[in-house]
Structure 1
Amino acid sequence: MNKSMLVGAVLGAVAVTAGGAVATYKMVSGPEYAEVLAVQPVKEAIQTPREECRDVAVTRQKPVKDQHRIAGTAIGAVVGGLLGNQVGGGTGKKIATVAGAVGGGYAGNKVQENMQTNDTYTTTETRCNTVTDTSEKLVGYDVEYRLDGEVGQVRMDHDPGRQIPVREGKLVLAAPAQ
């Protein structure tokens, strides 16, 4: 056998053995992983409007039947005139009667006004308004990782734990099948 042929055969055997060793190492060592450095949940605020109703007691003034308070004025004038007529005599009696009628009319008007203002009723009404409920929804995770000495960041739909699988140099971001 020739010396160069022998050297070639040995080098070939070494190359085949080395190639087999590298392939075996990759198969035995399993998949590669990126190291997870930090995981931050990402949340979104959800606002939901809803109607909120409650019953409220409401006090209202009863409708007025005599807006100009004619009855109170008339009754007051008659009573005042009668009382004024009881005072004095002659011309003084006439003046006292007129003054009593005017004063009584005014007083009767004010008494009726007070009675009408205080004439109320209470009823229950339903009052509604819109309120907004706020809640949070988890939309993903911002993950900081290290792969081959370089730090990167990616958003994932699940918490990856301590490692992210790497296949053919790329991160495998899908959630593992359950």
Structure 2
Amino acid sequence: MTIRATLLALALTTTMAGANADPHHKKRVCHDCGKVTSVRVTEQDGRGGAAGVVLGGVAGGLLGNQVGSGTGRSLATVAGAVGGAYAGKHIEGKINKVRTWTVKVRYDNGHTGSFQFRNDPGMHKGDRVRRADGSLRRA
């Protein structure tokens, strides 16, 4: 009876070892799948356009025209217009801030990647994602 039990145990052990050594049972890794490691939002000043330049120039010119008389008034008007145009462009840039979401990913194969979005992608640290068409999507 013990020989039979020993043979049975040996047969089961050999069968199990053979199943684990089978090269057709390799674990498949998705090279486009991964996990979000960080999401960072940054703000940058937008670009000031013609509206800011024109409005700032007009306002600066009107203020400069209030200073002095004669040639001094003309110089103050021109200086006010130039300074107002410069300030107007920068003020418009501050008003039109641009947000960027940077999402960093660690893929299942160990590689890392980074993606930028102009709108909130709705992803958070730890989310499972998949790279598709040059962007990220939730998995």
Tell me the TM-score normalized by structure 1.
Answer: 0.37
Tell me the TM-score normalized by structure 2.
Answer: 0.46
Name the larger-Rg structure.
1
